[in-house]
Structure 1
């Protein structure tokens, strides 16, 4: 049974992990015979967003690990405890938290930096040649991790794709229910809610991503 490290970035599409993407990813891992352990950085979110109004909540602070624990049903560890040698693959669902809390792509674009602890973990998997899946906006982080003209997708948004290319990646336009695979580095990406109009569309690509990651040797 393959073991997958899943890195979350909070709870909620606008300031953390996209919850549907996270749950669909965890479900797909189990359906395809794998098991998972969730991780998240133990630090404050960039900001807090009211998901009913879409507006920032001024003066409120939340912790990424604590919020991610909502999705993981409490079964989560600090990302500093994620050791590449304990897992066969790594997957990062999307949501703006991936571009706000795991890295600063949402605010700085191609000039973004990646959380040091998250970068260390993602780099370890990349350097070990282990399969990885990044969904939605998370491939922006993958661009910073892999560089070297790595092939990946966030769908077909031109401005976002341009920023990703500046990070050293090669963006490939992709339909919502499909994936882009860079076989050389064993990286699988899918647009998910960068394009998805409903949960069925998100599921199609995420399921394909997980199945492909788990099928890689």
Structure 2
């Protein structure tokens, strides 16, 4: 039976939205595995807009849902319309949008909050014991979703790992090409561009994550 997977995007671009390569690799792998995918994003303003050529902030405003449509080729819905009952699993690519638009982690660290609609959807998957895949920086939100004791990885970045531990999570160091699984919670994470130096390195871990998430839908 075709698996239905929800993917949460956070804009378009590594510095202020979803990491494009991570998102595309995720969507490609899901398609290669025959999954039916629906992308979602919150209908909110981005925290800010970054010029990806020089890294400087730009004096304009953009919408997370509208920007996410660039990656999804227009096939993205307001996360307010998402229902965990309609899907078998959830995956969240990284990029600073996860830490700026889906949450306040970039500015508040361990004291961060998560967008209420994002948190409600992720918690619904967790409560239903449906698999969730968190990529790159998005595992920093794991403790906010699952509570204390959850195991995840962002690779080897000491500062981010410390924030995860401060929120009550358990951080496990991981090579960029590998995954970490919290078997009790059906949560899978991988470092991707928290550690990757090339798109091939990022893809190796992401492909393993997607494959394992699909396997867990059958468990």
Fold in common (TM above 0.5): yes
Q: CA deviation at 1:34?
A: 1.3
Trace 1:93-112 onto structure 2 (pairs within 5 A): 93-112=93-112
Name structure 1 gaps, 5 residues minimum. none
SS at match of 2:213: helix
Give the SS at the match of 2:211: helix
Q: CA–CA distance in 2 between the matches of 1:144 and 1:198?
A: 30
How far apart in 1 are the matches of 2:199 and 2:159?
Answer: 25
- Give the distance between the partners of 1:28 and 1:191, measured in 2 at CA: 17
The match for 2:177 is: 177
Structure 1 runs (4+) greater than 2 angstroms displaced = none
Matched position secondary structure for 2:31: helix
CA distance in 1, matches of 2:60, 2:164: 31
Tell me the distance in 2 between the aligned counterparts of 1:143 and 1:28.
27
How far does residue 62 in structure 1 lie from its aligned partner after superposition?
0.3
Unaligned runs of 5+ in 2: none
Q: What is the rounded CA distance, in whole Å, between the counterparts of 1:32 and 1:181 in structure 2? A: 20
The answer (yes or no) to whether the contact 2:148–2:167 under 8 Å persists in 1 is: no
Alignment of structure 1 residues 1-217 onto 2, 5 Å: 1-57=2-58, 59-216=59-216, 217=219
Aligned length: 216
Alpha-carbon distance, 1:196 to partner? 0.4
Question: In structure 1, the residue corresponding to 2:45 is in which secondary structure?
Answer: coil
Q: Note the aligned Cα RMSD (angstroms).
A: 0.6
CA distance in 2, matches of 1:102, 1:125: 16
Q: Does the 8 Å contact 2:41/2:68 carry over to 1?
A: yes
Secondary structure, in 3 states, of the residue corresponding to 1:102? coil
Once the two structures are TM-superposed, the CA of residue 142 in structure 1 deviates from its matched residue by: 1.8
Q: CA deviation at 1:167?
A: 1.2
